[in-house]
Structure formats: structure tokens, C-alpha cells
Amino acid sequence: MSDRINIEVVYALPHEQILLKLQTPQHTTVAEAIKLSGVLEKHPEIDLATNKLGIYGKLAKADAVLRDKDRIEVYRPLLADPKEVRRKRAEEGKAMKRGGGEAAA
């Protein structure tokens, strides 16, 4: 049995997806793997204290221990509150239904 595991670190930007494959020692944590991947040097906007982290789409803590073939995901903060966006879209839809166009002369 090997003392190393294969993992992936993923960080998605609006126009670019970063996927880094690496081998780490067993018992590596999420935070340690992110640091070992080098993604923090390339993307200094990532803050492990504030960015949410996940393993295969499920939120994970920075001190969670990884297993072989885990995919660590670094999530970006939301730019807009989804509930607020839906509320605005619904209001715009109601306004358009009332009289969506210029009045005929």
C-alpha cells in the first residue's frame, strides 16, 4: 500500500477552470492540499479563512483529511444573493405584464 494519495484541486473562474492533479502524503488535509497545489500563488484572491471549500460538491472544513481520488473544490463568493436576483426578476416580469411597451398614439 502506497503512502501517497492522488487528488485534484479545482478552482473555477468565470472564463477559466483550473484543475490541478497531484500526489500528496496520506492524511493530508484540505488546506494542506490546496497549499501544495500552488493555486494560492496563482490566485492570491483565494483566502482559506473565507472561501468555502468542498470535496465533490459537499462542503468540507479546511482540516478535513483527504482520501485517495478526492477532488477539492475552492468556491468563489457569490456576487449577488440568489434570492434577491429572483425577487427582482419577478418584479420586472410583473411590470412587463401590466403594460410592457410604449402606449399607442
CATH number at residue 38: 3.10.20.30
Helix, strand, coil percentages for the chain (3-state, nearest 5): 30, 30, 40
Q: Specify if 104 maps to a domain.
A: no
CB 24 within 8 A of CB 36: yes
Q: pLDDT band at residue 102, thresholds of 50, 70 and 90?
A: low
Total domain count for the chain? 1
Domain span holding position 51: 4-99
* pLDDT tens per residue across span 2-54: 799 999 999 988 888 999 999 999 999 999 999 999 999 999 999 888 899 99
Q: pTM of the prediction?
A: 0.71
The residue with cell 403594460 is 99
Three-state SS for 10?
strand
Which one, of 9, 6, 11, 27, lies nearest residue 71 by Cα? Answer: 9
* pLDDT tens per residue across span 61-93: 999 999 999 999 999 876 667 777 787 788 777
